[in-house]
Amino acid sequence: MRPFAYVRVTGADEAQRALATQPHAAFLAGGTTLIDLMKIGCATPATLIDIGALPLAQIETRSDGTLRIGALAKMNDVADDEHVRAAAPAIARALALSASPQVRNMATIGGNVMQRTRCVYFRDVTQACNKRRNGEGCTAIGGDDRQMAIFGASPRCICVHPSDLAVALLTADATIHLLGPHGRRTLSFDGFHRLPGEDPERDTILGRDELIEAISFVPTALTRNSAYLKVRDRNSFAFALVSVAAGLDVRHGVIRAARLALGGVAAKPWRAHAAEAALIGKPASRATYLAAAQAELAAAKPQRLNAFKTTLARNAMVRALALVGGAA
Amino acid sequence: MPSGKLSRRRFLVASALPAVAFGIGLRPQLLVARQIVAVTVAPRGPRPVAVALTVNGQRRALTIEPRVTLLDALRERLGLTGTKKGCDQGQCGACTVLVDGRRVNSCLTLAIAVEGKAVTTIEGLAHEGTLHPVQQAFIDQDAFQCGYCTPGQICSAVGLLNEKRPLDADSVREQMSGNICRCGAYPHIVAAVRAAGGAG
Interchain contact B88–A (C-beta under 8 A): yes
List of chain B residues whose C-beta atoms are within 8 Å of the C-beta of residue A40? 89
CB A193 within 8 A of CB A204: yes
Query: ∠ at Cα B167 (B196, A107), nearest 5°?
Result: 100
End-to-end CA, chain A: 55
Smallest CA–CA distance, residue B65 to chain A, in Å, is: 8
Q: Which of B104, B156, B165, B173 to mutate to test the interface with A (most CBs of A within 10 A)?
A: B104
Smallest CA–CA distance, residue B104 to chain A, in Å, is: 4
Chain centre distance of CA A5: 29
Cβ <8 Å between A22 and B42: no
Q: Greatest CA separation found in chain B? A: 68
Q: What is the dihedral of CA B173, B174, B178, B184, to 10 degrees?
A: 30
Phi–psi pair at A70, nearest 5 degrees: -60, 145
Digit-by-digit pLDDT tens for chain A (328 residues) are 999 999 999 999 899 899 989 889 999 999 999 999 999 999 999 999 999 999 999 999 999 999 999 999 999 999 999 999 999 999 999 999 999 999 999 999 999 999 999 999 999 999 999 999 999 999 999 999 999 999 999 999 999 999 999 999 999 999 999 999 889 999 999 999 999 999 999 999 999 889 999 999 999 999 999 999 999 999 999 999 999 999 999 999 999 999 999 999 999 999 999 999 999 999 999 999 999 999 999 999 999 999 999 999 999 999 999 999 997 5
pTM: 0.91
Alpha-carbon span A135 to A127, nearest angstrom: 13
Smallest CA–CA distance, residue B164 to chain A, in Å, is: 11
Cβ-based interface (< 8 Å): residues of A facing B = 1-9, 14, 17-18, 21-24, 28, 31-32, 35-36, 38-40, 46-48, 50, 52, 76, 99-103, 105-106, 236-237
Cβ <8 Å between A101 and B41: no
CB A192 within 8 A of CB A50: no
Alpha-carbon span A306 to A97, nearest angstrom: 23
- The CA radius of gyration of chain A, in Å to the nearest whole number, is 19
List of chain A residues whose C-beta atoms are within 8 Å of the C-beta of residue B160? 101
